[in-house]
Amino acid sequence: MTKQYCITLLSGDGIGPEIMTVAVAVLKRVGEQLDIGFEFKEALIGGAAIDATGEPLPAETLEICKTSDAVLLAAIGGYQWDTLPSHLRPERGLLGLRAGLELFANLRPAKILPQLINASPLKREVVEGVDIMVVRELTGGIYFGQPKGVFETETGEKRGVNTMVYTEGEIDRIGRVAFDIARKRGKKLCSVDKANVLEVSQLWRDRMIQLAQEFPDVELSHLYVDNAAMQLVRYPKPFDTIVTGNLFGDILSDEAAMLTGSIGMLPSASLGTSKPGVFEPVHGSAPDIAGQDKANPIAQVLSAAMMLRYGLDEPEAADRLEQAVLKVLDADYRTGDIMSLGMKLVGCQAMGEALLEALG
Ligand code: IPM
Ligand code: MG
């Protein structure tokens, strides 16, 4: 073996284990083809970790992740854990992982595939050719800012507080990642903020303008978040790369994902500077179809492709996985979420087999 990578697998909850099985199979296959060795280690997160250890992110899991080359995550959460106090909810596992690995940059591509254009809720002429990369800041902003909590005032009334904070350093490091990505794509970067109201956003905008001087070949524009939300559904084509804070990015990346019509197709990457990245589908754990062989494993496979491309610097292996996905779609294989008239309905496992066949 020329190369050997240690990958932590966090299958999590719901459909997580089923789609992870498919991703591991295709990774092994592409590894054999390109002489890349993978050593997979499984660890617990989310509801599965709560049931086994009482916490959504056991210390052991974070340790295993830290010592690996990359982390492939499937999905977390489910109805049975929804009523737990907030510090014990499965989502906390995800937030803890982001903080623990200092994954400040979250890349969420939303690309319309010609084979699935009819799945989009928008008209063909509006979405044809859409190819957007949302770069979301992931370890700062209102998700982590202090003070936070529910406090009692002098009158005994409760007061809920979260704080949107960004330092110049935090803005600059996400800004540089985004400019760099824009440079490798369509050379257009749109920074989204709420600078007409929020001071923190004014600082964000000022820093982005400053940073633009380091990237003279990238065209920088700005939109307020409400306008950006509107433009994304009105006329999304001009968007290339979007950079925004944690909360706005959470919302806009879901909106951008919906343009493609199937959230079951979309991967994401979360990157830091020195520690391993985490690669996961944008969709959730879909507890309603878990264990029924109905899940779409494609977002998980494309997350594995992002892991190869951005985490392990193995672009050829990444290309092969992405090509295999296009091939199975061209061969008309569809899981329930992307099914349309005249196509061949398959389950998660059969989609996995079709992907292996497409890989050759
Ligand atoms: C996401 C999710 C998470 C977030 C939740 C599950 C904590 O919505 O990854 O976009 O808000 O970041
Ligand atoms: Mg979200």
Query: What is the whole-number distance in angstroms between the Cα of residue 9 and the centre of ligand 1?
Result: 19
Which CATH number applies to 1-113+262-360: 3.40.718.10, 2.40.160.10, 3.40.1580.10, 3.40.50.2300?
3.40.718.10
d(CA 87, CA 106): 23
For 131-245+254-258, CATH gives: 3.40.50
Tell whether the torsion through CA atoms of 259, 260, 265 and 271 is positive or negative.
Answer: negative
What per-residue confidence (pLDDT) applies to 2?
A: 78
What per-residue confidence (pLDDT) applies to 348?
A: 98
User: Tell me, what DSSP letter sits at residue 276?
Assistant: P
Structure tokens at 146: 């202090």
251: region left, alpha or beta (phi > 0 left; psi from -120 to 50 alpha): alpha
d(CA 164, CA 280): 26
Q: Which residues of 276-312 are buried (b: 16+ CB within 10 A; e: fewer)?
A: bbbbbbbbbbbbebbeeebbbbbbbbbbbbbbbbbbb
Q: Domain residues of the chain, as ranges?
A: 1-113+262-360, 131-245+254-258
What per-residue confidence (pLDDT) applies to 1?
A: 60
User: Tell me, what DSSP letter sits at residue 307?
Assistant: I
Q: Where are the alpha helices (DSSP H) in the chain?
A: 16-34, 46-53, 59-66, 90-100, 124-127, 168-184, 199-211, 225-234, 246-259, 298-306, 315-330, 348-359
User: Please, which residues have CB less than 5 A from ligand 2, an ion?
Assistant: 250
What per-residue confidence (pLDDT) applies to 261?
A: 84
305 lines ligand 1 (CB under 6 A): no
Query: What is the whole-number distance in angstroms between the Cα of residue 206 and the centre of ligand 2?
Result: 26
- Ligand 1 pocket test, pick from 45, 87, 88, 91 with the greatest ligand atom count within 8 Å of Cβ, gives 91
What per-residue confidence (pLDDT) applies to 66?
A: 97
Tell me the CA distances in angstroms from 202 to 34, 116, 194, 205, one per residue in order.
Answer: 48, 39, 8, 5
243 lines ligand 1 (CB under 6 A): no
Beta strands 333-334 and 344-345, pairing class: parallel
94 lines ligand 1 (CB under 6 A): yes
The identity of residue 204, as a single letter, is: W
255 lines ligand 1 (CB under 6 A): no
pLDDT truncated to tens, each residue of the chain (360 aa)?
679 999 999 999 999 999 999 999 999 999 999 999 999 999 999 999 999 999 999 999 999 999 999 999 999 999 999 899 988 899 999 999 999 999 999 999 999 999 999 889 999 999 999 999 999 999 999 999 999 999 999 999 999 999 999 999 999 999 999 999 999 899 999 999 999 999 999 999 999 999 999 999 999 999 999 999 999 999 999 999 999 999 999 999 999 999 998 788 999 999 999 899 999 999 999 999 999 999 999 999 999 999 999 999 999 999 999 999 999 999 999 999 999 999 999 999 999 999 999 999
Beta strands 267-271 and 105-111, pairing class: antiparallel
d(CA 322, CA 222): 32
Active-site residues, by number, are 143, 194, 226, 250, 254
Rg (CA), the chain: 20
Tell me the CA distances in angstroms from 359 to 113, 189, 325, 354, one per residue in order.
Answer: 19, 34, 9, 9
250 lines ligand 1 (CB under 6 A): yes
- Ligand 1 pocket test, pick from 95, 106, 283 with the greatest ligand atom count within 8 Å of Cβ, gives 95
Terminal C-alpha separation, the chain = 20
- Which are the contacts of 288, defined by CB distance < 8 A and separation ≥ 6? none
d(CA 329, CA 351): 10
Protein residue with least CA distance to atom 8, ligand 1: 250
pLDDT digits (tens, 9 = 90+) for 300-320: 999 999 999 999 999 999 999
- Asked whether the domain spanning 131-245+254-258 has the same topology as the one spanning 1-113+262-360, the reply is no
- Ligand 1 pocket test, pick from 92, 136, 250 with the greatest ligand atom count within 8 Å of Cβ, gives 250
Query: What is the whole-number distance in angstroms between the Cα of residue 100 and the centre of ligand 2?
Result: 19
Cβ–Cβ under 8 Å, residues 89 and 54: no
Protein residue with least CA distance to atom 7, ligand 1: 91
